Structure 1
């Protein structure tokens, strides 16, 4: 059959070839994507999978960037902030000398407009800022931004300060922001949109960027591929400098010449106990089961040595130094001790070694819910099943498609379930709040937003409220210590393994990548706010 190419197709092929040719220049930094992208959309208010990759990483900027690995706050369009009025007023100083891409000056008035635009169009307020205490945002002069709150809610700070700022003189004319494609974006970021196709897109350096001398590269180019393997091949061949892709053998990849990986831990995988089901409502049973599980083997088998065993507190490695109370040891795996503890708690064994309930009847065979075909979770479940068998507890792995898997976790129809932490942030508060607060729980059969264990405790709830009502770090640390102690005693879930980001590099042409030694961002994808720092810091060799 004769194939006919349209004029548009010819232009697309030509543009893609031209962008690839330009990408060979020494000062062009190339990003490879294991996906195809859609229309030319640079709307910063739409989700990442709807707008193009550079939108919130290279074109638009926020007031601050918050690194969730360690809580470090990097000033961007804001330079300082201060809580006052019993933490019901937040004052932010905005940066002077910043120009929008069209040459007009950025000011606090643009920032105030942005926040009030979210109020005007609630569908844009995906973080729920106006539903969580924010009552007004006003500019006081060119460089002062004042947030007022109806109640103290200091943990709102990261979401609040990481909103993308837009120019009032452009967006005040946009009356349908949900459908706006914003094909010619006007931001304050380090790069300007240049060319686009569905296989490649290009940005060029902003010559009037407010950080003098940066970025160090002249252009950014994104290339699309149809799989992780194809993206990895481009990195190996030197046709790309960076890719956020999962690798089947990351250690092997990192040992190849010029290859590097940065997979920082910003979350954990957990074994959730459904505390709304008997006998899993008993903390003694949950603790005994947890002690019987070898999380080191769970991590080794599940991730071939890349991920490590998690700390029982649920506090990730980068936050333990500041937020984990001294001397708080992780629960030690000990089959014999777990066996004795279960027996002492009233769960004896029968003559065949099967564990009995307190009523003398055999414990049920607990199902371990995992995603269908998710080899890492399935492997972890197999290790857990074998370990629990050693103390007389029988389990069965229950693979479910996504809708049934997520639905089972959220509606409380499961027994045990493996999943990631459904809440993370720059301090342990964000994880504890989302997984332990009554606000995110629900009755069995109704959808819980993120408290998958359906566990609540008045001591924990009070500590969460104490934390959120203060900006005093010492008080917040005491609240976290209280929560940690209760969680490690009651074990509503068992933290299993590290969960990482997936940044991979070819270092043959550039230096300055983030790393474990220099974690200036948290290794998130090329289309996220943290990637901006990488685009600013990479330098041609």
Structure 2
């Protein structure tokens, strides 16, 4: 199923907005374009600001683009509206990646049974204009997803209805395509919107059975938006987005009436990793989600990450090389297996990502944290792979490959295996360095691989249309209530399969496997832990045997590093009162109430 294309915060510097007219029939084929051209200002030696430093938290890495829209119905809104940020618009529940639990947000509890999931909306919840957050607001928010081509439009194939059960109780009833995991994800990741604001907007864009998304996108939502979260938009410019605390935020009661510590949150905008990192070193950023190499050397600048020990960041995702399964030579599983044995993972770990990853294990299940109970080491040893060039060559030889006098790989038809490219967005330096290592590794077994670093919009379009050879991507960047099922589904589920040339937002490698599909359909409805473990074991075995994508490295859901020059008491491995989600994402937001300004902050 198509879940949409979540904006990655690691390289794009501006967005160009195309104009479209959507119908419900074409909703899932919505075409999105992102460009990266316009530059922002370089990092200054010291922030020149009208905002008191002891009251202001500076963050970076969640947006790279001069702001243009804060409309949650825009295909690519600016921070803090995009992604899973929860400091303006809130969700009913929110996922804590440390505990694997769903925590209260707008809802104060939930229950689940065979037919439905029921949430109880907190009766204290209020919009920033003082009006209550109502059941009608919730119902209309989810109705929007049934009307418009949002990333969650497809969720409605798993819902029969959403009902007002009275007493602020709301039930999400499963359809015949029962999938509680998708519905839990939707509950935890859907921003609840005020019906009074968005119903007139959507109705005004309706013409028959169609909705003019151009007209909806004209609403920039940039003047005192009606939100439920602890912060609201104050002002913005090409180089920063300024949020101001809502001192009357309804949720302060959860913190004994205390307000969030920063009065202002300012997201600074730069146009490269290096400029973000320079600002961090100079003390102009307090939190950054940008890749910062050799974090252990930054202690001299009062900077650290979640942990003081390797891998420093908390892993939560798997970066992979997507494979064009419909293209030769990648349609040969033996070649794919040989490639896995040829890749020097240790060199990637050291050279590309500063050892910010544990040693990668075979398969597509994280062998640590909340997923570790599903990881089977015996299967990983039997069906998996490790760096072994001679093993790679042995696999190729048995499969009928050979080499010419220059070491170039010759296929089973006695023809040279064609050259191919490995691509990622230009400027994403950690990915670029990883690809350089992979190119070297594949050259060792006679494959003529080449680097291809392109504009973000080109990379994104190539993935959607399937016009690539190999492309680096982290398809499911965040842990959630649906992990690890959604990670498998996003790269293996044939329900998302589209022919080359048609847009796909999941399964962009165009992989097919009937046995995998059966397990992907079965797993979400399983409640017996033993059955669930066995199902994941079978699915992970299929993954290792057929290699839908090439897992390259574990990564954090966000890089999380902070400076203690101006603020202290950030959540850490030693003080894990909140997950390492930069104080603005999901359950990490509660850290805003506990950080403390340094006495000398000015």
Q: TM-score range by the shorter chain?
A: 0.7 to 0.9
Contact 2:127 2:227 in 1 (8 A): yes
- Alignment of structure 1 residues 163-174 onto 2, 5 Å: 163-168=190-195, 171-172=198-199, 174=201
The answer to whether the aligner puts 1:31 opposite 2:81 as a matched pair is no
Cα distance, 1:218–1:414 mapped onto 2, change above 3 Å:
closer
Residues 481 and 517 (structure 1), Cα distance of their counterparts in 2 relative to 1, 3 Å cut: farther
Deviates more, 1:455-464 or 1:507-516: 507-516
Instruction: Report the CA distance between 1:493 and its aligned residue.
Output: 2.4
Say whether 1:158 aligns with 2:203: no
In the superposition, relative to structure 1, how do residues 289 and 504 fare at CA in structure 2: closer, same or farther (>3 Å)? closer
Measured against aligned partners, the alpha-carbon deviations of 1:141-177 in whole angstroms (never above 9, x if no partner) come to: 2321111232212221212332222344555555555
Deviation readout 1:1-59 (Å, 9 max, x if unpaired): xxxxxxxxxxxxxxxx999344223x5434357756436x6544445634656995323
Contact 1:323 1:428 in 2 (8 A): no
Task: Report the TM-score when normalising by structure 1.
Answer: 0.82
Q: Which runs of 5+ in 1 are unaligned?
A: 1-16
How far apart are the structure 1 equivalents of 2:445 and 2:282? 51
| Aligned position for 2:334 | 284
Q: Which secondary structure state, in structure 2, belongs to the residue aligned with residue 58 of structure 1?
A: coil
> What aligned pairs does 1:60-459 form with structure 2 within 5 A after superposition?
60-67=89-96, 71-84=100-113, 86=114, 88-119=115-146, 121-123=147-149, 125-128=150-153, 131-151=156-176, 152-156=178-182, 157-168=184-195, 171-172=198-199, 174=201, 175-176=203-204, 178-182=217-221, 183-191=223-231, 195-198=234-237, 199=240, 201-207=242-248, 208=250, 209-211=252-254, 212-217=256-261, 219-222=263-266, 224-227=268-271, 229=274, 231-247=276-292, 249-253=294-298, 255-262=299-306, 263-316=313-366, 317-327=368-378, 328-329=380-381, 331-349=385-403, 353-359=407-413, 361-371=414-424, 373-374=426-427, 375-415=429-469, 417-424=470-477, 425-426=479-480, 427-459=483-515
TM-score, structure 2 normalization: 0.74
Partners of 2:99 and 2:419 lie apart in 1 by 37
| CA displacement at 1:296 relative to structure 2 | 1.4
CA contact (8 A) 1:57 1:526 kept: no
Output the CA distance in 1 between the equivalents of 2:566 and 2:373.
37
Preserved CA contact (<8 Å) 2:365 2:372: no
Structure 1 stretches (4+) deviating beyond 6 angstroms?
Answer: none
Change (3 A) 1:451 1:100: closer
- The Cα shift of 1:365 comes to 3.5
1:506 equivalenced with 2:563 (yes/no): yes
Residues 446-525 of structure 1: pairs in structure 2 closer than 5 A: 446-500=502-556, 501-517=558-574, 523-524=580-581
- 5+ residue gaps, structure 2, are 1-45, 205-215, 307-312
Shift of 1:89: 1.9
> 1:405-442 CA distances to partner (integer Å, 9 max, x unpaired)?
44444444544x13113235421211110101112223
Deviations 1:260-293 (A, max 9, x none): 2344433222233333234432322221221122
Cα distance, 1:482 vs. partner?
1.0
Is the Cα–Cα contact under 8 Å of residues 58 and 535 in structure 1 kept in the other structure?
Answer: no
CA RMSD in angstroms, aligned pairs only: 3.5
